[in-house]
């Protein structure tokens, strides 16, 4: 049984080299909807029974380790199996420690001494900890701010907000996958929101999603161009040889209200449902027969911003509904699949090349839609109790096969058909109280000379500056 874990956690330490922890359990949750979060347990091996007797070069106090950068590394969990993907076999998650708990020492390990009379110290003490590792963007949630941006667009506002944290993010921010143009808005306000909630609301309410890898944070309204990965589909539950594959695909659905309606300036030319033009898969044809839209006028002069899109655009609501309707769940044992990866499922029925050649173009198109996907979420469960085999008290005379020690990896992928652009759920803006104290702004710096005058803009509005200390 191997004494090396396929998981390790290295925590930065200002007084020494990174502190190395071997991880025995981990649950990793990541999606295009939320920041990644990792809960794990592991241990630090030491010569001393007490952490306080360690060298001064190591400081394990939670106040020191919290908010420190850390990297969780995942190696191939199956030592006798090599995955054939064109990327590094080590997958890294880089973030910060947001929770830490000292669980104590493994006393069985301390009792496992062959020669109690020896004066030679051995690395036999295992100090166990529990950690939570999260995206560095979680630092943006630690404040609440009130800001007003005028005559700018949401991309510039996001860039300005992230610019406040450029010294502590330690990751490159990539906007190259934003291809749409976002119009200038007269007013964009942040009221009593953390900066993370603010940029999340701006992004998600405009169809922009963001996620990260080890070194880069990506903001996207289209998918990043990456190479397709072909994955075998093997439903055999007895996968003794640990073939890298997807073992099952299933669909979950729940009853919900109508999530969107369509509006138009002119009722004679209403906006069209995207789904009315999608007949690629047979069941969609039946859904299209039930589709409907509302026609009504919307006069733009009632809007101070001179825009008909005061709320979420119907086209975005429709895209979000498609994401909910068309997403699938899949179970696999492939450890280094990442968010935004394109995958092609290799079904046996698609291996018959002669049959494919005889199919017409429409059938081939339908077949392609049923096997080409993008990963929009990933929940991983990693267990490596096998590394504790050398921690057992040898005086117990218990066979290792009876200890239920295990080494395993599994994940649940959320897949979306490749031709559908992921659209996040929409976020509500915090509401201001019914009344608040403000300062009326005049045309000059001398407010006393204008205290009896209120200036308004062309729409009759009064511009105020919120008194944060009221």
Please state, in angstroms and rounded to a whole number, the distance separating the CA atoms of residues 119 and 115. 9
**Per-residue tens of pLDDT for the chain, all 470 residues:** 445 678 999 998 766 678 889 999 999 999 999 999 999 999 988 777 777 655 555 677 788 889 999 999 998 887 665 545 444 578 999 999 999 998 888 665 545 444 444 454 555 678 899 999 999 999 999 989 989 898 999 999 999 999 999 899 999 999 999 999 999 988 898 988 999 999 999 999 999 999 999 999 999 999 999 889 889 888 887 877 778 889 999 998 887 766 555 554 444 544 445 544 455 555 555 555 544 444 444 444 444 444 444 456 777 877 888 898 889 999 999 998 999 999 998 876 444 544 555 555 555 555 555 688 999 999 999 998 877 765 554 444 445 444 456 788 999 999 999 989 999 999 988 876 655 555 555 566 665 665 555 566 666 666 665 555 54
Closest Cα to residue 32, out of 339, 417, 428? 339
Strand extents, DSSP E, 178-325: 185-193, 209-212, 216-220, 229-233, 245-250
Please state, in angstroms and rounded to a whole number, the distance separating the CA atoms of residues 336 and 395. 40
Strand partners of residue 21: 9
Cα 17 to chain centroid distance, Å, stands at 29
Please state, in angstroms and rounded to a whole number, the distance separating the CA atoms of residues 195 and 210. 15
- Longest C-alpha distance within the chain, in Å? 94
Closest Cα to residue 208, out of 257, 167, 155? 155
Please state, in angstroms and rounded to a whole number, the distance separating the CA atoms of residues 333 and 323. 24
* Whole-prediction pTM: 0.78
Both tokens assigned to 349: 């029925």
Please state, in angstroms and rounded to a whole number, the distance separating the CA atoms of residues 313 and 264. 11
Both tokens assigned to 94: 């880089």
- Looking up tokens 């050398």, which residue turns up? 390
10 Å CB burial of residue 362 (0-12, 13-18, 19+) is exposed
């Amino acid at each position: 049984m191997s004494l090396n874990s396929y998981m390790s956690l290295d925590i930065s330490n200002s007084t020494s080299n990174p502190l190395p922890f071997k991880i025995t359990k981990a649950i990793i949750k990541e999606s295009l909807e939320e920041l990644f979060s990792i809960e794990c347990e592991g241990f630090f091996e030491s010569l001393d029974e007490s952490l306080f007797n360690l060298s001064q070069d190591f400081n394990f106090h939670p106040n020191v380790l919290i908010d420190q950068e850390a990297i969780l590394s995942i190696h191939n969990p199956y030592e006798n199996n090599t995955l054939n993907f064109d990327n590094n076999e080590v997958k890294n998650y880089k973030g910060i420690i947001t929770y830490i708990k000292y669980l104590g020492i493994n006393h069985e390990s301390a009792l496992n001494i062959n020669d109690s009379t020896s004066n030679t110290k051995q690395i036999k003490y295992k100090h166990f900890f529990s950690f939570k590792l999260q995206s560095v963007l979680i630092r943006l949630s630690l404040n609440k701010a009130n800001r007003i941006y005028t005559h700018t667009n949401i991309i510039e506002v996001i860039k300005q907000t992230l610019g406040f944290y450029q010294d502590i993010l330690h990751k490159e921010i990539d906007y190259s996958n934003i291809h749409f143009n976002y119009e200038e808005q007269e007013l964009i306000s942040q009221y009593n929101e953390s900066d993370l909630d603010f940029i999340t609301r701006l992004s998600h309410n405009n169809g922009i999603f963001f996620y990260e890898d080890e070194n880069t944070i990506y903001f996207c309204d289209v998918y990043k161009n990456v190479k397709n990965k072909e994955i075998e589909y093997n439903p055999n539950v007895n996968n003794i040889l640990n073939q890298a594959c997807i073992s099952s695909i299933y669909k979950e659905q729940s009853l919900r209200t109508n999530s969107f309606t369509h509006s138009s300036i002119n009722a004679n030319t209403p906006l069209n449902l995207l789904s009315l033009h999608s007949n690629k898969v047979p069941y969609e044809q039946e859904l299209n027969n039930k589709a409907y839209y509302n026609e009504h006028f919307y006069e733009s002069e009632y809007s101070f911003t001179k825009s008909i899109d005061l709320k979420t655009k119907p086209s975005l609501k429709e895209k979000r509904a498609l994401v909910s309707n068309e997403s699938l769940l899949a179970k696999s044992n492939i450890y280094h699949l990442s968010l935004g990866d394109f995958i092609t499922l290799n079904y046996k029925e698609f291996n018959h090349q002669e049959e494919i050649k005889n199919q017409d173009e429409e059938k081939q198109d339908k077949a392609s839609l049923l096997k080409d996907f993008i990963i929009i979420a990933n929940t991983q469960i990693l267990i490596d109790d096998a590394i504790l085999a050398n921690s057992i008290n040898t005086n117990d005379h218990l066979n290792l096969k009876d200890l239920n020690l295990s080494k395993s990896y599994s994940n649940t992928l959320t897949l979306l058909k490749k031709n559908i652009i992921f659209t996040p759920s929409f976020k509500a803006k915090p509401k201001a109280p019914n009344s608040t104290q403000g300062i009326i702004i005049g045309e000059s710096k001398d407010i006393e000379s204008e205290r009896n005058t209120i200036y308004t803009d062309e729409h009759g509005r009064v511009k105020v500056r919120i008194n944060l200390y009221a």
